[in-house]
Amino acid sequence: MLKEIREMASQPLDPDERAKKLLGKAAPDFTLEDLDGDEVKLSDYQGKTVLLAFWGYS
Q: How would you write the pLDDT of the chain (58 residues) with one tens digit per residue? A: 678 777 767 766 677 887 888 888 888 899 989 889 999 999 999 999 998 887 877 6
Q: Is 33 helix (H, G, I), strand (E, B) or coil?
A: strand
What pLDDT is attached to residue 58? 66
Q: Can you give the residue ranges of every domain in the chain?
A: 2-45
pTM: 0.52
Distance of CA 33 to the CA centre of its chain: 15
